[in-house]
Structures are given as C-alpha cells and as structure tokens.
A and B are shown apart, each in its own frame.
Chain A
C-alpha cells in the first residue's frame, strides 16, 4: 500500500477530556506490568502543533500510600514538578492511518525529545463536530527524567523496570 502524507489541519482542536487519557505501563517483578493513567489531562492542536499536559496529582491509584510513594521524590516529585507536558515538533500523518509525532516530553522538569507512533482517524461525531482521534505510544527510560528508584529483589533481580511505555489516547474536537 502506498503511504501518502496527510496535511495536518491548521484549525484549532481541543481534547475532549472524557474521551482522552494519558497512561503508562512498567514491568515489575520481571513479568507483571503495572498500568496507570492520569485523570486530569489537557491537549490542544493549534497551528499544526500538538501540546498536552497531565496533572501528576491526578494519577489513578486508589491506595494512598502507594500513590504517595509515586508522587514523592523517589518518582514524580510532585511538590516541585506537578505537571507533565508534551509539545510536538513534527506530526506525520499517513493515508493508511498511521501517525508519528516528534516532540519534547517534560517529566519532573526534564525535557527530552521523543518519537511516538500509532494511529489516527478523522470524522464527525453525533453532535456534528469534526473530531480527530489519535492514539500513540512511546517508550522512555525513566532514569532520563530522574525517576531513578530501584530496589534489588532477594533473588538479585531489579524490582522495577526502567523502560516505561507511555500512551496517549486523544479525542480532539474542532473549535468553532
């Protein structure tokens, strides 16, 4: 199949918060994967640049001590860096529905370039709004952002993987 690049719209789109989420997954104990997401997220496509942010305090974990540990200095250091942000530097949309985003991801105050890959779809919704659905993911080494926590298990293995898969599912609604 030939892949034709699609034009990124110049209109302004903002994320429908109900149908948008930022999530992550990380392996622990060698085999299991812990997954969570951020409840309060925001994203906007304007002037062909996608920006997004997540309120770190809105991390979805219902156990207070576990959540507290992730928000503390061992991980997100929420007191000093309460927000995760992303700003695209290039968006490539292909006719077959694949999407690639280059951009700058800022976690814990550290900004690193990342490339996220996935899919997109364009269409109208039941209310007559133009929407863009975008689902992309990327993998980062959490140490690059200063999330260095580690414990050696009794068998000598590392308790928590360094590779973290980050995913964004966005429903972007065209603004009038």
Chain B
C-alpha cells in the first residue's frame, strides 16, 4: 500500500517535510510513504491553462495522487492559514471537478509550526478544502508546535505522546486507505 506525502512547505529544511519523514518511519508494515517533490513546479492555477493535456507538473501531481491509496498532507501555517503553494496544489488537484484524483481518497492532515500551536488553524482549513474537493478526510489533527525542537536526532518526534499520536493517525489513514483499496478491487 502506498501513501503519498505532500508537504506544504518548499523550504529545504522544512519542519513539515521532517514531519512526513517521521510519519514514514511510523507506518504499519506493508505501507510505504512516498514524498511528492513537485509542488514548487506547479504554475499558479489559471483556468486558461487548465485543459487537456494538463501542464506537465500538474499531470505529475494528479498521477501521483491517483496512484496512491491515501494521502498525508503536512501543512505549515502562514498568517493563520494555508500556505499559497499548498492551496494552489489542492486547487489543481481538485480539477476536473468532480472526477478528480482526490475524490473519495483517504486523506489525513498534520502540521508543524515554530509557534506553540502547531499550525492547528491551517490544518482545519486544509481539511475544509479537502472536504469541499470530495476527499475522504480523517477528522483528526496533529499540531506539532515549537517544531524547531520537536524532532530528535533519529528523525522521530521527541515527545512520546506526539510520536504515538502520529503513529495512531497514520494507522487510521492506512486502515482507511486499505478499505478504499479493497473496494476498488
């Protein structure tokens, strides 16, 4: 089973990409997580270029989502909300509507920020956007605050409670993704 990880940060040493890597080390057996690395290549959404065939970077995103059994989004928080680069990707992924790659796709959302609250507002808004798109959104959050000190040298979340929460959330995602995969067969 394959989970696609989408980090909403393009930064080289992104805490949210670190969070996805921590999630990759916490997966149930038989599940792998692939990090999508093409977010920065996407053009700004423009209906004039939203045609068939799609721009190459857009096609890559849609194919990566369509080829996954579930999606794990890690979002930073900019001014209390979703970073533009992530919203742009979700807008592209939502097209064509309603038969888009995210429709019915099990998706979980996590987030990290260097403040106290772990991108909790951005996570809520990402879930809202994903629900509008038609994804099967897991109604749970994982706010990793003070992200600059949240990870141990081994890449795992340093706090045991947070580590278990992440394991629990990806286990729920994998179960939901497994159920979706079984239905597809």
Contact = CB atoms under 8 A, between A and B. Distances in A.
Interface string B96-126: 0000000000000000001111001101100
A153 B121 CA distance: 7
Contacts of A66: 114-116, 146
B114 A65 contact: yes
Given A28-B116, A66-B114, A66-B115, 18 more contacts: A29-B116, A29-B117, A29-B143, A29-B145, A32-B116, A63-B115, A63-B146, A65-B114, A66-B116, A66-B146, A69-B115, A153-B117, A154-B120, A154-B121, A154-B123, A159-B116, A159-B117, A159-B120
Nearest to A152: B121
Contacts of A34: 116
B164 to A, nearest CB: 15
A160 interface: yes
B80 interface: yes
A69 B117 CA distance: 13
A63 B117 contact: no
A153 B120 contact: yes
Given A151-B121, A154-B124, A63 B148 contact: yes
B116 A160 contact: yes
A125 interface: no
A155 to B, nearest CB: 9
B80 A151 contact: yes
Interface of B: 80, 114-117, 120-121, 123-124, 141, 143, 145-146, 148-149
Contacts of A160: 116
Interface in A17-53: 28-29, 32, 34
A33 to B, nearest CB: 10
A156 B103 CA distance: 28
Interface of A: 28-29, 32, 34, 62-63, 65-66, 69, 151, 153-154, 159-160
Contacts of B123: 154
A153 B124 CA distance: 9
A28 B114 contact: no
A32 to B, nearest CB: 8
Q: Nearest 8 A-B pairs (CB), nearest first?
A: A154-B124, A63-B114, A28-B116, A63-B148, A66-B115, A66-B114, A34-B116, A159-B117
A63 B146 CA distance: 8
A151 B116 CA distance: 12
Contacts of B148: 62-63
Contacts of B121: 151, 153-154
A36 to B, nearest CB: 11
Contacts of A65: 114-115
A69 B80 CA distance: 14
Contacts of A63: 114-115, 146, 148
15 contacts: A28-B117, A28-B145, A29-B120, A29-B143, A32-B116, A32-B145, A63-B115, A63-B148, A66-B114, A66-B115, A66-B146, A151-B80, A151-B117, A153-B117, A159-B117
